[in-house]
Chain A
């Protein structure tokens, strides 16, 4: 069975089980390796992507649920092949330590800033709460979100 899904503006035909999580389709079939597998339970946020303007856990997103919906991944935020605004803010603040959570963090931040371009400190904490960083660079991540909001 083949399902057509739109990722970063391009249509892809996904072969296989319709219950397959979007994360596996992205990484194994389309070759976009930005989103990471962390817990597979929607608890850590490493797999966060944006679907129709909402940040979602791609590990809990069956491809069969994506008919006619638009997916954006961290690769979709590149501007002319270079880091986009949120990427650059994370680089400037050196917000990554091991980096495993970062593409999920970037997508969560992108979603937050699309809904509220000028979030308060509390708004950033609440908005980023679903994504975890085991290295503990949360302070730098919050600075990066603030920097992205300013630029």
Chain B
């Protein structure tokens, strides 16, 4: 059981109702807001641990809500979106959204995303330097990885990509975010190199590299390390 608090910002009453029920069953505390202004106000007055934000709000568009929230808070935000808007998803993730779920969705999917988003974002100096994702272990202190207990031989770029994904385990990371951290700001559009690194990584950490189960692709958006 979880005791985190969740703020649902959605103009559809029915959606708010089932989200409240679902998260309360899981032990979360739920607040609701029916438009962007109310949402931003609630987030200020009583900061939640996680925000679920519907993009189709009547009073403001999603990106400006995220920008407003991000100007003073780094609370995890999960966006509810519709299919075939990949550019928009990428933009929202770049603005600071943590993940997205495509409507219509089963509640299990949303709860899994919420749990992943609630996990601490990065390892603190006092924390455990080992990130574990399934059978994969990455030691951020020694910059070494093991898979099923066997040591992985990783190139420097491969290690960096894997480390970024592991630190966001279960959450989507856009290609631009990875590119920026691994290759620096000047190569943001050359995502081809990233594709090659990913292909090589899959040969090392996947049982069947052509049918990945750990390093997953979010088409048109980025990658996600499965948990």
Q: Judge: A and B partners, yes or no.
A: no
Measuring CB to CB, which residues of chain A are less than 8 angstroms from any residue of chain B? none
